[in-house]
């Protein structure tokens, strides 16, 4: 019998096992392996007497079980052979139906992980994905991982961006040899994991110099294989065509990261700040704009506001009237009259979203932003269009480069 078959049978029918000790020969090759029960031995006393402990120790699970399993590699057969097998445990063993939840067995199959990623791309929540996978398996008891394991798998795949990030930086370095104007910068966290990568080429810088008075920027939401947002900075040229000023890959959308991104954009564009900026209204974006571009006019994306009106009030007639209030070219007094009339008609004066929108009216209502230059921009839809085109050719080139290297 092969060793792997024995280990699998013992684990499924009895208890969890763990590797205890290995032996190597003079060539550094493994020749012997000891497996023990997960409840072998006892927890060292030092872990009970730790100073400055922040939480209580976990329950003791080890009880000195002597069950063990030894395999040895026999050179002349080229196979592993069982050298010792002690099957008896000094404790009750787990129900075979629950073995899949033991730590060494809790692992997502590649097929499940791939399906999870596809559903994440469709903006399905992790909890709903877990429920669907459990339904496919015939029940939660047939899924050999927990919801927490799914979150860990997502985090693990995100961490893979580190290796690919090094390759992306090498790619950018090579590109800079051809385009000396190419600008790129990145930051990492305390563990050396990429937090943000910003880049823009020489053509983008020339476009910004001429057409950079109005800047739109938007973040995708984990629509790539790394499950990380991609930020696109764009505008329009004199033919009303979309031009890309820069792009960035980020692993979080904190205020600190957005401030850093705008600072890099400013540095790449030789200190030229935009006159006007349009975003989807994310608080971290707004904070970054006020910090880095304090004199820029900020406008909220009309499409996002209409969607929020629909989700927060849920009345098509209200959404229609809200749209008229937002886009109507009224005097401020007329806007105020129409706004309060609408709020009273639909009885939504106490809704937090309504109160918040009124407080922010100076950055979304046409009545309040008349005379400010936005070159016809009302939405970040141009950024959305770029997202559908794989967010400019750079990510495509990087991904192709990664496959080749």
Q: What is the pLDDT along the chain (405 residues), one digit of tens a residue?
A: 344 433 333 333 445 556 678 898 888 888 999 988 888 888 887 777 777 777 777 777 888 888 888 999 998 888 999 999 998 888 888 777 777 667 767 777 778 888 887 787 677 888 898 888 888 888 877 787 888 888 888 777 665 555 667 777 888 888 888 888 999 998 887 766 778 889 999 999 999 999 989 998 877 655 555 567 788 898 888 888 888 899 888 877 888 999 999 999 999 999 999 999 988 888 888 899 999 999 999 888 888 888 888 888 888 999 999 999 998 888 999 999 999 999 999 999 888 999 999 999 998 888 888 888 877 776 665 545 444 444 444 444 444 444 443
226 vs 156: CA distance, rounded Å? 10
How far apart CA 275 and CA 15 sit, in angstroms, is 67
**Per-residue b or e along 14-42, where b marks 16 or more CB atoms closer than 10 Å to that residue's CB:** bbbbeeeeeeeeeeeeebebbbbbbbbee
Distance from C-alpha of 39 to C-alpha of 17, rounded to nearest angstrom: 8
CA–CA distance, 317 with 334 (Å, rounded to integer): 20
Which run of H or of E encompasses 327? helix 316-327
Q: Which two tokens stand for residue 384?
A: 């959305």
Handedness of CA 136, 138, 144, 146 (dihedral sign): positive
* Cα–Cα distance, 14 to 348 (Å, whole number): 61
Q: Tokens representing 126?
A: 């992790």
Q: For residues 249, 254, 260 and 263, what is the CA-based torsion angle, rounded to 10 degrees? A: 100
Residue 55 exposed, middle or buried by CB count within 10 Å (0-12, 13-18, 19+): exposed
The answer to whether residues 242 and 234 touch, using CB atoms and an 8 Å cutoff, is yes
Would you give the DSSP letter of residue 60?
Answer: P
> What was the pLDDT predicted at 394?
47
Q: CA 227, CA 251: separation in Å to the nearest integer?
A: 8
Cα(325)–Cα(302) distance, integer angstroms? 11
- Give whole-number Cα distances, 251 to 57, 136, 154, 188, 282, in Å: 33, 31, 12, 10, 16
* Residue in 127, 160, 159 with CA at minimum distance from that of residue 146: 127
What confidence score (pLDDT) does residue 161 get?
52
Give backbone dihedrals phi and psi of 391, rounded to 5 degrees, phi first.
Answer: 60, 55
DSSP 8-class letter at 72: E
**What is the pLDDT, as a whole number, of residue 400?**
47
The reported pLDDT for the residue numbered 119 is 83
């Amino acid at each position: 019998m092969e060793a792997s078959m024995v280990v699998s049978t013992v684990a499924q029918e009895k208890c969890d096992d763990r590797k205890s000790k290995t032996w190597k020969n003079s060539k550094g090759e493994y020749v012997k392996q000891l497996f023990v029960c997960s409840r072998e031995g006892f927890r060292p006393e030092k872990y009970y007497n730790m100073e400055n402990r922040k939480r209580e120790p976990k329950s003791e699970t080890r009880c000195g079980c002597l069950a063990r399993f030894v395999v040895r590699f026999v050179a002349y057969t080229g196979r592993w052979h069982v050298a010792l097998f002690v099957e008896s445990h000094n404790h009750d063993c787990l129900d075979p139906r629950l073995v899949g939840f033991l730590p060494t067995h809790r692992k997502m199959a590649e097929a499940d992980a791939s399906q999870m990623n596809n559903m994440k791309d469709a903006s399905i929540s992790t909890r709903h994905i877990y429920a669907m996978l459990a339904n496919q398996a015939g029940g939660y008891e047939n899924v050999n991982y927990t919801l927490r394991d799914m979150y860990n798998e997502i985090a693990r795949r995100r961490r893979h961006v580190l290796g690919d990030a090094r390759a992306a930086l090498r790619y950018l370095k090579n590109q800079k040899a051809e385009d000396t104007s190419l600008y790129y910068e990145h930051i990492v966290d305390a563990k050396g994991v990429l937090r943000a990568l910003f880049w823009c080429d020489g053509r983008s810088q020339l476009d910004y110099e001429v057409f950079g008075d109005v800047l739109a920027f938007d973040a995708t939401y984990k629509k790539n294989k790394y499950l990380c947002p991609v930020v696109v900075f764009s505008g329009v040229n004199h033919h009303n065509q979309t031009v890309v000023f820069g792009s960035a890959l980020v692993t979080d959308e904190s205020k600190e990261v957005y401030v850093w991104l705008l600072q890099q954009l400013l540095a790449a564009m030789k200190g030229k700040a935009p006159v006007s900026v349009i975003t989807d209204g994310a608080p971290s974006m707004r904070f970054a704009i006020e910090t880095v571009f304090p004199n820029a006019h900020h406008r909220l994306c009309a499409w996002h506001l209409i969607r929020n009106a629909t989700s927060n009030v849920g009345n098509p007639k209200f959404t229609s009237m809200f749209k008229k209030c937002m886009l109507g070219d009224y005097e401020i007094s007329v806007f105020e009259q129409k706004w309060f009339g609408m709020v009273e008609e639909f009885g939504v004066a106490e809704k937090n979203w309504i109160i918040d929108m009124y407080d922010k009216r100076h950055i979304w209502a046409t009545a309040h932003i008349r005379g400010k230059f936005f070159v016809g921009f009302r939405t970040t839809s141009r950024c959305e269009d770029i997202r559908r085109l794989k967010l400019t050719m750079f990510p495509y080139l990087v991904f192709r480069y990664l496959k080749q290297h």
